[in-house]
Amino acid sequence: MTQNFRFYKELDGRWYVELPGWEGPKADLEMVQGADTMLDLISGSANECLLKLSDVQFEGAELLELEHEREQNLGGGGDYLLHKYEGETTLIRLWLCEVTNYVFKGLPERIYLRKMR
């Protein structure tokens, strides 16, 4: 799966992913527990960014690596590590919730990403 996703920050500082067709609550789309930190880094001072995400490596991609799959009673999804961004060491640990399973039809060992704008 390779697709572009829009992430946006609301006035209260919370990040969300725009996911057309999502029928669950908006709260499920909030980027928390480090994912918001990663988006702050990637977006710079912007309140939105477009990211190309894939479970297949592509040219110019950054890498998120799965460190641990969470049990359902702990929120499901997985804990990932962003080792570097644009050549700089970041070591940002982040949780990607069960929506990741919905998007990728499973929990990828590696997620490749690149800022599109």
65-81: average pLDDT: 89
> pLDDT (tens digit, 9 = 90+) per residue, 102-112?
899 999 999 99
Structural domains counted in the chain: 1
Looking at per-residue pLDDT, the higher value among 73 and 2 belongs to: 2
Query: Among candidates 23, 24, 19, 25, which has minimal Cα distance to 4?
Result: 19
Domain that includes residue 91, residue range: 2-115
Query: Among candidates 59, 44, 43, 60, which has minimal Cα distance to 5?
Result: 43
> pLDDT (tens digit, 9 = 90+) per residue, 15-39?
999 998 899 999 999 999 999 999 9
62-84: average pLDDT: 90
| Rounded Cα–Cα distance for residues 69 and 77 (Å) | 6
What does the mean pLDDT of the chain come to?
A: 94
Q: Where are the alpha helices (DSSP H) in 8-104?
A: 35-43, 99-104
